[in-house]
Structure 1
Amino acid sequence: MFDIYKEMWDRRKMIHALSLHEIKKEYAGTVLGSIWGLVTPLLRIAVYWFVFSIGNRVAEPVGGAPYTAWLAIGMVAWFLLNDGFKLSQKSFRSKRSIIKNTPFPIAILPAVQIMFSFYTHLILLVVILITLAVALQTVSVYWLQVIYYDFAAVMLLLALGSVTAPLVAISKDFGRFLDTVLIFLFWMTPILWSVENAGRFANVVKLNPFHYIVQGYRDSILYHSGFWEHPLYTLYFWVVVLVLFILGNYLFKRMKPIFLDIM
């Protein structure tokens, strides 16, 4: 039932090495190198802060937390989810030459792209945590809970990548559709706005598993709330991940001969 994930685990050292190679290749030829992985998201956070705090002047504290810190933490979580999903769903199609010309274990490709996103995410996360520790003058043991939410995010991305990568390999249109879905998810996931503002639709918004990760980051760093305090929501998230894992394994095994011929 979980053949492709077993292969990912068995080849975890290979995935680690390839993801580091992807980072080197991504920033090869640039003066700042991998620092661009830090500069770009920080600039995006600054732009959203300026628009909502200075431009619209609607950036009030959220649940007692400063809006700037609340926004930055949500954006850090989103960058991991967005980049990991975007790269993993295109992992087969973007590596056509490797797939067609070498006996490569293609099942690991989504994991390589996700770990590439995760490693760049860790740099940004450390910078944001240090900045918040200085700005808020507080550090909590709950911050360690981010490790759990990072693990949950990687598992969700692996499941989503396994489902979508075979479909995108067959249809470029589906890839474009997913890019549109990501834009929709950015605005519908409470990153720039609080889920409490959704009123009676708040529970519908929470069905989005991305919200579980984003809110988990904020609960850990700002509100000092444990994931065990939301047992039903946590159970729902992991059931969704499990269903996606099963579906991803099934689609890969059924569609592998098809997309190998098409590509």
Structure 2
Amino acid sequence: MKETWLVLLEQFKNLNIIHRLAKYEEKSTFQAHILGNVWQILDPAINIAIYWFVFGIVLYGNKPMDGYSYVAWLLPGFIAWQFMRAEILGASRSMVSRVQMVSKMQFPVSTIPSMTLASQLINYWWMLGISMVIMIGYGVRPSLYWLQFIYYFVCMIAFLYALGLVTSTITVVVRDFHTLLNSAMQLMFWVSGTIFNFNANATIKQHPMIIHVIQINPFYYVINGMREAFLGTGWFYHDIKSIIIFWSITLMLLILGSHIHLKFRSRFIDYI
């Protein structure tokens, strides 16, 4: 735990640097594109339109989900997934892609995954705001349940940083790991409830063990939680077991990530 506290302390001491470098990175990402930062909104918007048409219209026939239209049901989880996927893949290569920063600037390299996280957050806020407007247009009304967003947002950030610390370190040591992670994220997309309502699937309901395995998935916990918050279908404390499992996984990832990061970071330049 001493290693974990050390890494967390480095984040708090360097919040200003993390914020400034994240803003710079976010501005430079689409600088050479004609549409510029519009792609931050346009790219996920196109994906939402595709999945809404294929699954909402073609597959489900625009059938309501949890009392709302499919697009309103899709948005809270899909936006969270887009953010998590981009952050995990970005954090995995964060140290490798910033080799000059690692070698020349004097600051803890444990903050580099945090910079990626802060940069991706800027896009997330834009998409979340647009999604809330769309959801309200489809009949979703603000309620006390929306306060749960704060809890699930904290869950999402804690899990992403812990996982990012692990993946960024492993990618430095084993470069092929990023490719494997990309394939794993494609699998996670289909088994995390991003576009499927597992609770309304009659086939899956007949196999309780599948439901239990799905609920262990931290991605599912966050995605389903975001939907419960915005659609008002339940409170976060209704499933204490899932809370314990999620935070246990996150804590284990943070401890593991802190340990391997501190073990290898003195040799990062040699590996890169």
TM above 0.5: yes
Q: Aligned residues: percent identity?
A: 27
- Measure, in 2, the Cα distance between the counterparts of 1:59 and 1:214: 21
Tell me which residue corresponds to 1:134. 137
- The letter for the 2-side match of 1:50 is F
1:159-186 C-alpha deviation (Å, 9 max, x unpaired): 0011111110111211111111101101
Cα deviation for residue 137 of structure 1 reads: 5.5
Map 1:18-57 → 2, pairs under 5 A? 18-57=21-60
Cα deviation for residue 142 of structure 1 reads: 1.5
> Structure 2: where are the runs of 5+ without partners?
none
- The letter for the 1-side match of 2:172 is A
8 Å contact from structure 1 (residues 149, 216) kept in 2? yes
* Residue of 8, 13, 37 corresponding to 2:11: 8
Paired residue secondary structure (1:29)? coil
Tell me which residue corresponds to 1:229. 238
1:201-256 C-alpha deviation (Å, 9 max, x unpaired): 01101111011110011100113422122222112211111111111110101121
Cα deviation for residue 62 of structure 1 reads: 2.1
1:72-112 C-alpha deviation (Å, 9 max, x unpaired): 22111101111111111111111112212333421100000
Matched, 1:255 2:258: no
Tell me which residue corresponds to 2:193. 190
Cα RMSD (Å) of the superposition? 1.6
Q: Runs of at least 4 residues of structure 1 off by over 6 A?
A: none
- Measure, in 2, the Cα distance between the counterparts of 1:249 and 1:56: 44
Q: Rate the CA distance shift 1:57–1:170 in 2: closer, same or farther, 3 A.
A: same
Q: Which shows bigger deviation, 128-137 or 106-115?
A: 128-137
8 Å contact from structure 2 (residues 72, 138) kept in 1? no
Matched, 1:214 2:223: yes
* Residue of 100, 105, 108 corresponding to 2:108: 105
Matched, 1:172 2:181: no
- Measure, in 1, the Cα distance between the counterparts of 2:263 and 2:140: 53
- Measure, in 1, the Cα distance between the counterparts of 2:153 and 2:80: 8
8 Å contact from structure 1 (residues 19, 115) kept in 2? yes
- Measure, in 1, the Cα distance between the counterparts of 2:81 and 2:271: 33
Q: Which shows bigger deviation, 92-101 or 157-166?
A: 92-101
Tell me which residue corresponds to 2:87. 84
8 Å contact from structure 1 (residues 142, 220) kept in 2? yes
Matched, 1:61 2:70: no
- TM-score, structure 1 normalization: 0.94
- TM-score, structure 2 normalization: 0.91
Cα deviation for residue 58 of structure 1 reads: 4.6
Paired residue secondary structure (1:136)? coil
- The letter for the 2-side match of 1:94 is S
- Measure, in 2, the Cα distance between the counterparts of 1:179 and 1:137: 34
Cα deviation for residue 70 of structure 1 reads: 1.0
